[in-house]
Amino acid sequence: MSPDPVFELPAQCVTPTAAPIVIDNGSFQTRAGWAAPAAEFDSPRLLFRSVAARSRGAARSETQIGNDIPNLEPLRWLLKSQFDRNVVVNFEIQELILDYVFTHLGLSSEGSVEHPILMTEAPCNPLHCRQMMSELLFECYRVPFVSYGVDGLYSFYHNNNQRNLQRPNTGIILSSGYHCSHILPVVNGRLDALNSKRVNVAGSQAASYLQRLLQLKYPGHLAAITLSRMEELLHGHSYAAVDYHEELEKWRCPEFYEREVHRIQLPFSGKVPGGCVSAEERQERRAQQLRRLQEINTRRREEKLQQDQERLDRFLAIQELLEDGLLDQFHKSLMELNMDSAEELQSYINKLQLAVEQGRLKLLQSDGGEGKMENCHNFSPLYGATPAFNMAEYHQLFVGTERLRCPEILFQPSLIGEDQMGLMETLQYVLARYTPEQQEALVSNVFLTGGNMQHPGMKERVERELLALRPFQSHFKVTMATRPGLDAWYGARDWALEHPAAAGAEGWISRQDYEEKGGEYLSEHCASNVFVPMKLAKPVPVRPAEPPAALQTLTGASAASATVTVAPAPSLSSDSADVNMAAS
């Protein structure tokens, strides 16, 4: 990835009115650019992965963002994203990303960003997250106006304009991104949020599934099978089957396999597979181990033999004592040996003599045996021929049915163990909540968007499954976005051009709105979430003595003690009593 240039701030984006900056804040990629009518602003200026590489300790200041990182893999463990699933939770990193965006767009105004900002958010974005985002934009960057919208809806808006469909539009959007896929029904130009559904399977799950499959198939290449390479494979070499079982049957046939399998050549690594080349080494090692064991055995036998011999000698000496007639000494030694009579001594002597003889025999045998073994070993290297080893082939990955299985997890999450419904089953569930007339209207404009929908064959698959779901001979139409990954940005830009920012304009939140109605306020428009007004207690810092249980309990406590007397501050803290805080 080559680093992004720092663009010059174009004059027409400042005068006569400050042009809005459109930021499509995706969990995979961030796309940012100007919303200005001229042709040069037709595409997003900045397109980069939404990651920041932050190392710990002293190097923390050298954070690299997006395209500043030439290669993601060495820094994989340092990469952090502001997202948790499809929702922004880490606003420090969001701040870093916004800094990057504004710097590279050429902004240099002091103390504030003077352009209205249009950002995308998740469908049914939690209020806390919107509050934090608004706080970041209004307090830190002092933007004049902010607008939030859903990326799938912007894409829908853009494509409907392109197709000159009459407004207000009705349709159902299947949007599949990096972390989640959504089903968003749009009725008369507004999102029907209550009937929307989200399936937690999308691009990132497909990439990690592919990675695990290949790592298990090729355990020797564990480190070489990286997520970046998997994403390449997914984007370039995978496809969605129109009929999954039929397609799998095709893969059974060896000719089909030979034609369709994709051989991926990994870069050379010095690693040698454990076992192929060093057959001789293995034999050598085995021989060595055997020899060692035998040596130990013989040594042990020798020692035992020696001990027995010594004991035998002692006993014999004592017997001689008896024969010589030194009875007293004889009895004394017998007592020392803990024996009672001469017969016992004799039996011990006999046993020992037997044992000594056997030991000697065994030693002789093993010596002879060892000699034989060594002869054997000398022969084997002559006869053993190592098979011809192809280093290039060893570093090849054969990607066959995996090409088909990974996009399939969107339709059958049970492949990865998720028990949620797949995309089409969820669509059926959503449609069932409408009357048949509404269903007809919705299904006549099925719209596919999102980066994960770019697999070849997705549209045909959706059409085939929809045919199975809908009543006999009913009509439906499926459209794919013209640029599934980028259309959200284009749609947002179109919307911004058609709805210029002004105080009180539909869809725009002004600084005053933010201060009066709080950070979680949303101004609804045709491509936005539904706003359910709910007073979120604004976190107010409390005296340090108070132990913070939760943010909201903090404000509760502080509100109770009426510390806040800031005049234009939203009187949210006093309203916090309304909020049902279970924690307090």
Q: Which of residues 10-29 bind another protein (CB under 8 A)?
A: none
Q: Which of 15, 39, 166, 219 binds another protein (CB under 8 A)?
A: 219
515 binds another protein, rule: CB under 8 A: yes
Tokens 């820094």 identify what position? 75
Q: Are 92 and 48 in contact (CB under 8 A)?
A: no
Written as one string, the DSSP assignment of 357-381 is HHHHHHHHHHHHHHHHHHHHHHHHH
> Which of positions 131-150 make contact with another protein (CB under 8 A)?
132, 135-136, 139-142
Contacts (Cβ under 8 Å, ≥6 apart) of 193: 123, 124, 529, 530
Write the CB contacts of 488 (distance below 8 Å, at least 6 apart in sequence): 24, 26, 31, 120, 151, 152, 154, 155, 449
Q: Which of 124, 316, 337, 339 is close enough to bind another protein by CB under 8 A?
A: 124
Q: Which is nearer to another protein, 43 or 420 (CB)?
A: 420
Nearer to another protein, 404 or 443 (CB): 404
| Residue 357: how many other CB atoms lie within 10 Å | 12
Residues near another protein (CB under 8 A), total? 113
Q: For residues 375 and 385, what is the distance between their CA atoms, to the nearest angstrom? A: 19
- Shortest separation between residue 245's beta carbon and another protein, angstroms: 6
Residue 429 touches another protein, criterion: CB under 8 A: yes
Going through 478-584 in order, the beta strands assigned E by DSSP cover: 478-480, 509-510
CB of 501 to another protein, least distance (A): 18
**What is the sign of the dihedral through the CA atoms of 271, 277, 281 and 286?**
positive
Kindly state the smallest distance separating residue 428's Cβ from another protein, in Å: 10
Q: Which of residues 223-262 bind another protein (CB under 8 A)?
A: 245, 248-249, 251-252
Q: Which stretch binds another protein (CB under 8 A): 71-79, 189-197, 372-380, 477-485?
A: 189-197
Residue with Cβ nearer another protein (188 or 329): 188
Within positions 517 to 546, which residues make up the interface with another protein, using CB under 8 A? Answer: 530, 532, 534, 536, 538-546
Q: Is 188 left (phi over 0), alpha (psi -120 to 50) or beta?
A: left
Considering only 336, 343, 419, 437, the residue that binds another protein (CB under 8 A) is: 419
Is residue 564 within the footprint of another protein (CB under 8 A)? yes
Coil vs helix vs strand at 480: strand
Tell me which of 209, 476, 490, 508 binds another protein, using CB under 8 A: 209
**Residue 569 binds another protein, judged by CB under 8 A:** yes
For 96-125, give one letter per residue: b (16+ CB within 10 A) or e: bbbebbbebbebeeeeebebbbbbbbbbbb
Query: Judged by CB under 8 A, which of 47, 153, 199, 478 binds another protein?
Result: 199
- Distance separating alpha carbons of residues 115 and 34, to the nearest angstrom: 10
**Pairing label, strands 117-121, 145-150:** parallel
Question: Among residues 333 and 552, whose Cβ is nearest to another protein?
Answer: 552
Return the residues of window 89-118 that contact another protein according to CB under 8 A.
89-92, 95, 99, 102-103, 107-113
What the block records as the tokens of 498 is: 């058609």
User: Rounded to the nearest whole angstrom, what is the least distance from the CB of residue 478 to another protein in the complex?
Assistant: 20
Name the segment binding another protein (CB under 8 A); options: 194-202, 348-356, 391-399, 441-449: 194-202
By CB under 8 A, name the one of 85, 237, 314, 483 that touches another protein. Answer: 85
Using CA atoms, how far residue 47 sits from 50, 159, 483, 535, 566, in Å, is 9, 21, 14, 36, 41
Choose between 185 and 359: whose C-beta lies nearer to another protein: 185
Contact pick of 62, 281, 324, 344 for another protein (by CB under 8 A): 62
CA dihedral 492, 127, 566, 544 (to 10 degrees): -130
